[in-house]
Amino acid sequence: AISDVLRVHDIPFVLTREPGGTPMAEAIRDCVKHDWQDEQVTEQTELLLMYAARSQLVENRIKPSLAIGHWVVGDRHDWSSLAYQGGGRQVNQAHLMAIRDLTLDGFTADLTIYLDIDPQVGLERARSRGELDRIEQSGIAFFERARATYLNLVDQSDSALLVDASQSIEQVRATVINHVQAFVKG
């Protein structure tokens, strides 16, 4: 939906995802999502890996793209760590913010569109796509805390939009398109 709007307006863009988006960040993604069976991935390890992948993406793909005038459309960004590791995993906020500041040094998204859905419905949708990864197996309380964090972030931001993702895919798409068209037009 977003890429369609940008194409109509002849805006060059790149697509990214987190974690991932570069060869090294994709390798980190595989590591983060993997079920390590008998070895627990600590909250701190998960946080550091997420920001390592993000650093690779920002420095090697996002900033160079922006420097040549391309827009960047990302599937997730820094808020995911604030919600998942900060809210869901309850990582110490001072530690999280120190790592965030070190990694991003104030770099932030111009627009964030948060697709909000009840965590139980979200997990059911994830199950319908196949086997759950390590993070998706974190339990409903984890996702309720993450959602609460996302909603708080949206509420505190002037550059974020909330979309009710419990609607049909067509309704969600139309809402996103309308928001992006308004953003493009300034």
Name the residue ranges covered by the structural domains of the chain.
2-185
What is d(CA 41, CA 135) in angstroms, rounded to the nearest whole number?
Answer: 10
CATH of domain 2-185: 3.40.50.300
Per residue in 128-141, pLDDT (tens digit) is: 999 899 999 999 99
Position 163 confidence tier, pLDDT thresholds 50, 70, 90: very high
Per residue in 25-35, pLDDT (tens digit) is: 999 999 999 98
pLDDT at 186: 87
pLDDT at 116: 98
What is d(CA 145, CA 22) in angstroms, rounded to the nearest whole number?
Answer: 29
As given in the structure block, the two tokens for residue 144 are 């309720």
As given in the structure block, the two tokens for residue 175 are 């809402």
As given in the structure block, the two tokens for residue 32 are 């983060």
Mean pLDDT to the nearest integer, 19-45 = 95
The one-letter amino acid code at 73 reads: V
Q: Which residues make beta-bridge pairs with 14?
A: 72
